[in-house]
Structure 1
Amino acid sequence: MAKTEKPQSDKPDRGGTDPSQLGRFRQIIVAYQRTHEYDKPLPFLLAGAFVVPIILAVIAGMVFGAMISLIILGIMVGLLLAMLLLVQRTKAATYKRYAGQAGSAEVALAMLPKKWISTPAIAANRQLDAVHRTLGPGGLVLIGEGEPGRLRALLTSEVRKHEKVAYGVKVTTIMMGNGKNQVPLEKLADHIRKLPKVLEPNQVTEIKSRLNALDKVRPQIPVPKGPMPTNPRQVRGAKQAMRGR
């Protein structure tokens, strides 16, 4: 049996659903399909972004000559514009898809550059209000997601804990939401990215190690990873899991 058993291949599964395991072309197709669900004008916009540069290239070729070279240039420009447009529309559709779901802040944190180190749901309560954390050039940031009244105590507690291990580094708090003095989901990543630089890479690494020590002594929170669906039955099941049932 050992001789006949086939060894597992290290090559990615091109037929799976995990985007990280798909080929580049398949990733583009999946991104288009998922975006089109929430962005119906997408095919027309992409077609326009691709075709317009080609039309302009043809017109320029008729006026100045070098038709073939300009058409090739127009095709390349059209592909580039279509890809950039797809990326922008995909990001907007992702925010639209997860808006209003518990844990949706994790979607915005995933949009941050790699120099930001994010940890979702470091603290939460039974109502699925949560505090997320990210660390990067803009400092140590805690993001509160949920009902503001319940979040204040949760955020205050986490600020105290983080200030003890951050050694003088100011902890910035952000309340995510659409109300006054809140940052909407679709603007959260840009808001964090624009924070003034206060930490150097070596400081980020040092604070990260201290935060790891803090996380090891805190109790594990039974919160599902990623945004939660708004289906009442699924939300009720998640709350039961948090109560330990």
Structure 2
Amino acid sequence: MAKQPKDSSTSPATTQQGKGGGEKQPGRLKQIGMVAKVVHQQSPRTIPIAVGIALGVLAVAIVGGLIFGYWMYWLPFGVLVAFLSGFLFFSRSAQRLQYQMLEGQLGAGMAVLENMRGDWSVEPGVNGNRSMDIVHRAVGRPGIVLVGEGDPQRLKPLIAAEKKRLSRVAYNTPIYDVQVGNAEGQVHIAKLQRSMVKLPRNLGKAEVAELRYRLKALPPAMQMPKGPMPRGAKMPKMPKSQNQ
């Protein structure tokens, strides 16, 4: 007698993954809980301070209601402002801790670029060397931004070579370069996103789309290290901040 096929709808692979075999993403509340757990581990005082700020704002609203009356307005408004105040402090603290955890890691700049808001497309590791100095490329309304991570002196020829390579298809498109790090002339990891946002918008949406199309035809630099990555070297992932 032929064996009946098992019902695939109840298999572990199906229950653990979403449609198309992809891993199901956690919900917003679960994400906040995961961030809160990390924040508590790294800075145990952050959450109590956030709660204290919220309670303080709520207390002011209650006192305002007692003095001026109009409880119908003071109490709901106080609850809303109290929650937003505490949550804003928590979000800023979580983002600051994220940058501290990323600082000094290989690919920290790339982790920030991948979480940038706006119409940006990012290409990791367009150039590099055996010393693990690496250059990423971001394309958006300002034009092309080359983001280097590593030693400032070794990054200079890498960025210069990448600019020369891009000039074949970029034509008159502005090309900016930023080095991430703590050395003189470099941008701290916590300020990278801010410095990118401050760049002028030189291109329209159609021009950005055309630029991306031209860049696809550009052959790779072929200067990335051919040897294996150092043991334990990974591109870190940056959790999305809640205040973005």
- TM-score of the aligned structures, taking structure 1 as reference length: 0.81
Per-residue CA deviation, residues 55-78 of structure 1 (Å, 9 max, x unaligned), is 011001101213354222211211
Alignment partner, residue 51 of structure 1: 55
State whether structure 2 residue 234 is matched by structure 1 residue 214.
no
The match for 1:108 is 112
Which residue is equivalent to 2:32? 28
Pairwise CA distance, 1:194: 0.1
Local SS of the residue matching 2:217: helix
Counterpart of 2:7 in structure 1: which amino acid?
Answer: T
Contact map agreement 2:182 2:188 (CA 8 A) in 1? yes
Which amino acid in structure 2 is aligned with residue 133 of structure 1? R
Structure-2 residue corresponding to 1:129: 133
Q: Which residue number in structure 2 is paired with residue 4 of structure 1?
A: 7
Hey, what does 2:80 align to over in structure 1? 76
Give the drift of 1:180: 1.7
Greater RCO (CA < 8 Å, at least 6 residues apart):
2
Q: For 1:145 and 1:108, how far apart are their aligned partners in 2?
A: 12
Please name the residue that 2:164 is paired with.
160
Structure 1 residue runs without a partner (length 5+):
239-245
Cα displacement (A) at 1:49 = 2.6
- Cα distance per residue 1:69-101 (max 9 Å; x no partner): 422221121122222222222211111001011
Bigger drift between 62-71 and 191-200 goes to: 62-71
Give the structure 2 partner of residue 194 of structure 1.
198
Q: 2:144 aligns with which of 140, 144, 157?
A: 140
Q: For the aligned residues, what is the CA RMSD?
A: 2.8
% identical aligned pairs: 29
Give ranges in structure 2 of 5+ residues lacking alignment.
Answer: 236-244
CA 1:233/1:11 → structure 2, altered by over 3 Å: closer, same or farther? closer
Q: CA deviation at 1:21?
A: 0.9
In the alignment of these two chains, the number of paired residues is 224
Q: Is the partner of 1:35 in helix, strand or coil?
A: helix
**TM-score of the pair, normalised by structure 2:** 0.81
* 1:119 alignment partner, one of 123, 131, 137: 123
- SS in structure 1 of the partner of residue 37 of structure 2: helix
Runs of 4+ aligned structure 1 residues displaced above 4 Å come to 9-13, 217-223
